[in-house]
């Protein structure tokens, strides 16, 4: 029986690869893709979500969600993802329709319509949609099986400020709601995703698939890599969001600890920091499986095999 998931996302080249990985994997049933403002504004993230579904030749429904964080002005990341959010290759405008229902209503209705504990939420961007759904319909919180998200950092620090990772920084109040919700959490922080770097050989392997998906993935990662190479001097692009989907498919690729993680929502200096009690120096209750390691070879083997199916 495939695992039912909802992907909440702000495509974003790495979101796009994560969506393709999920759509290529029969172990997963993607009930819907909910777009949120993040890397680029909502009109672009919802359009990019539809473009990726169309590229995969699937009919997964795509919904538009929140266009701004709960309490703050939207911060975007065109400097990383380009002005379209999917720079790297010119793809035709999608004909795959946008669903009329708001993403938050879709989240609420879908969780209410399915048996408790049967749906996993996979947030790949700021947590605004998820937090808004939890605030509007508290009854759905206990119905969520698990949340597996990309966000935060511990020893790796931040990527948008010295202390904060982008997804959490954009909407720290939303992240605080999710991290305090009591829903079982699996967190893929920068500590893991910065180890999931592409290699030149892998990117060229994607290109040599000779498929539209292979071409797109190679061009996206080429584009996406320039930011991290310039900033960290690393060879390769960190495929942040695909780590979430890879965990669902092969959890043994990852290692981590069940610890307490709380979100800084007050300090201007450390706003959006995930304060991860990795060494358990407090008596704060563990609320997240916080990942620290990944089998890079195994991760890219899985990606290559699955993306080659599309």
Residue 65 binds to ligand RIB (criterion: CB under 6 A): no
- From the list 42, 124, 164, 196, which residue makes contact with ligand RIB (rule: CB under 6 A)? 124
The 10 Å Cβ neighbour count of residue 157 is 14
> Facing residues of 173 across strands?
none
Cβ proximity of 15 and 149 under 8 Å: no
240 is a catalytic site residue: yes
Minimum gap (Å) between residue 12 Cβ and ligand RIB:
4
By the criterion CB under 5 A, which residues form the site for Ca ion?
10, 12, 15, 124-125, 241
* Cα–chain center distance at 288: 16
Q: Among 56-64, 132-140, 158-166, 202-210, which window interacts with ligand RIB (CB under 6 A)?
A: 158-166
Residue 39 binds to ligand RIB (criterion: CB under 6 A): yes
- From the list 5, 6, 7, 10, which residue makes contact with ligand RIB (rule: CB under 6 A)? 10
The residues in 222-281 that bind ligand RIB, with binding defined as CB under 6 A, are 240-241
Task: Let me know the angle formed at the C-alpha of 297 by 154 and 124, rounded to the nearest 5 degrees.
Answer: 45
- From the list 5, 16, 38, 63, which residue makes contact with ligand RIB (rule: CB under 6 A)? 38
123 binds, among ligand RIB, Ca ion, none (CB under 5 to 8 A by kind): none
The Cα–Cα gap between 149 and 126 comes to 10
159 binds, among Ca ion, ligand RIB, none (CB under 5 to 8 A by kind): ligand RIB
Closest CA to 108 of 72, 44, 63, 42: 63
The Cα–Cα gap between 174 and 128 comes to 5
* Cα–chain center distance at 100: 23
Catalytic annotation, pick one of 81, 102, 240, 258:
240
146 binds, among ligand RIB, Ca ion, none (CB under 5 to 8 A by kind): none
Tokens 């890599």 map to which residue?
225
Minimum gap (Å) between residue 81 Cβ and ligand RIB:
7
**What is the DSSP annotation of 90-138?**
--PPP-SPBPSS-HHHHHHHHHHHS-TT-EEEEE-S-SHHHHHHHHH-G
Pairing between β-strand 288-294 and β-strand 62-64 as defined by DSSP bridges: unpaired
Give whichever of 11 and 140 is closer to ligand RIB, judged by the CB atom: 11
Q: Among 12-20, 48-56, 89-97, 300-308, which window interacts with ligand RIB (CB under 6 A)?
A: 12-20
Q: Which residues are catalytic?
A: 240
Q: Which residues bind ligand RIB (CB under 6 A)?
A: 10, 12, 14-15, 38-39, 124-125, 150, 159, 165-167, 240-241
């Amino acid at each position: 029986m495939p695992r039912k998931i909802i992907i909440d996302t702000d495509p974003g080249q790495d979101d796009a690869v994560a969506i393709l990985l999920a759509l290529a994997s029969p172990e997963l049933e993607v009930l819907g893709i909910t777009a949120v403002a993040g890397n680029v504004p909502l009109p672009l993230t919802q359009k990019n979500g539809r473009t990726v579904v169309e590229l995969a030749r699937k009919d997964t429904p795509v919904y538009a969600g929140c266009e701004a964080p709960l309490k703050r002005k939207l911060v975007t990341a065109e400097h990383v993802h380009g002005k379209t959010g999917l720079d790297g290759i010119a793809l035709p405008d999608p004909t795959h329709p946008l669903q009329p229902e708001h993403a938050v209503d879709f989240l609420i209705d879908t969780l209410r319509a399915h048996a408790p504990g049967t749906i996993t939420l996979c947030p790949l961007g700021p947590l605004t949609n998820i937090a808004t759904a939890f605030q509007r319909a508290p009854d759905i919180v206990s119905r969520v099986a698990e949340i597996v998200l990309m966000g935060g950092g511990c020893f790796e620090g931040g990527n948008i400020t010295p202390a904060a990772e982008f997804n959490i920084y954009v909407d720290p109040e939303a992240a605080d709601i999710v991290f305090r919700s009591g829903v079982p959490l699996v967190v893929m922080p920068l500590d893991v995703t910065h180890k999931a770097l592409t290699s030149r050989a892998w990117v060229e392997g994607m290109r040599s698939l000779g498929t539209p998906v292979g071409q797109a993935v190679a061009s996206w990662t080429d584009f996406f890599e320039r930011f991290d190479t310039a900033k960290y001097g690393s060879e390769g692009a960190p495929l942040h969001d695909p780590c979430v989907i890879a965990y669902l498919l092969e959890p043994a690729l990852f290692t981590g600890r069940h610890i307490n993680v709380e979100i800084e929502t007050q300090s201007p200096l450390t706003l959006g920091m995930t304060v991860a009690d990795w060494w358990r120096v407090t008596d704060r209750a563990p609320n997240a499986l916080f990942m620290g390691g990944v089998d890079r070879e195994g991760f890219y083997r899985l990606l290559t095999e699955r993306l080659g199916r599309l």
